Structure formats: C-alpha cells, structure tokens
C-alpha cells in the first residue's frame, strides 16, 4: 500500500485525464480530417487540441505541487487538491471542446487551485523560517 494512498489515487486520476485528452485529439484528427503534424483546421478540432495542450501546460505545475503538498500538508490535503484539480480539468476539456467561451469554470477551478496551492506552500515555508 502506498504511503500516500489518496495522493497516489489523485495522481493516477490526473494521468488518466491527461491520456484521455491526448486520445481525444487523435479521435478529433480522424473525425475532422486534420493530419499530423497540422494543428489547425476545423474549429472543433482546434478546440479539442487546445484543451489538450492547455492540460499539458497545467500538469507541469500540478505534478510538483501535488508532491510538495503531500510532503508538507499530508495525504488528505494533497489528495483532495489532486482530485479537485482533475475534476476541473475534466470540466475544462469537455466544455472547451463544446464551446471555447464556456471553458472558464474548469480553468479557474484547476488553475486557480494550483495557484492557491503554490501560495499555501510558499506561505508555509515563510512561516517556518
């Protein structure tokens, strides 16, 4: 059993969300006839592609924050952060694919949560000094 079971579950879910986003781009390429390496074409394809690319951009911040949160605040806090982040990403990916204008709630949930966690981690280090 992992030492951080909830954090581990959150990490696994985030990776599943990421792989799902990647696979959705592959499906969209076939559906809309956008051959690699092209990244433009049908606007519906472009929305799916941008949702996946934004997830790549966000996961780079999320992964170290998740690990640091587990070490600093414990498994429960980090696990909740990770699970809510993934829910925000799912919401973002689904809403962006349907209508780019509706992506804000999912983006704010996941990105805002990461900014909040970064602030909390920096603050906890400042208080420790």
Q: How many CB atoms sit inside 10 A of residue 67's CB?
A: 14
The CATH number of the domain holding residue 31 is 1.20.120.550
Show the tokens assigned to 36.
């690699």
Residues 1-22 have pLDDT tens digits of 679 999 999 999 999 999 999 9
C-alpha distances in Å from residue 13, one per residue of 6, 43, 90, 103: 10, 28, 10, 20
Nearest-10 crossing angle of helices 43-73, 75-98:
170
Would you say the C-alpha torsion 119, 120, 125, 128 has a positive or negative sign?
Answer: positive
Instruction: Count up the domains in the chain and report the number.
Output: 1
**Domain extent for 123:** 5-128
Determine the Cα–Cα distance for residues 32 and 43; give it in Å rounded to an integer: 9
Residues 32-86 have pLDDT tens digits of 999 999 999 999 999 999 999 999 999 999 999 999 999 999 999 999 999 999 9
The pTM is what? 0.94
Name 121's Cβ contacts closer than 8 Å, sequence gap at least 6: 65, 68, 69, 72
| Residue listed under structure tokens 């799916």 | 48
Determine the Cα–Cα distance for residues 116 and 79; give it in Å rounded to an integer: 15
């Amino acid at each position: 059993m992992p030492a951080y079971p909830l954090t581990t579950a959150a990490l696994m879910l985030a990776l599943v969300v990421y792989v799902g986003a990647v696979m959705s781009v592959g499906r969209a390429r076939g559906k809309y006839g956008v051959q690699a390496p092209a990244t433009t074409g049908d606007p519906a394809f472009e929305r799916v592609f941008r949702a996946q690319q934004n997830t790549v951009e966000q996961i780079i911040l999320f992964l170290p924050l998740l690990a640091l949160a587990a070490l600093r605040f414990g498994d429960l806090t980090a696990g909740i952060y990770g699970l809510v982040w993934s829910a925000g990403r799912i919401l973002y990916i689904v809403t962006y694919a349907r209508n780019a204008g509706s992506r804000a709630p999912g983006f704010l949930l996941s990105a805002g949560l990461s900014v909040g966690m970064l602030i909390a981690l920096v603050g906890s280090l400042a208080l420790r000094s």
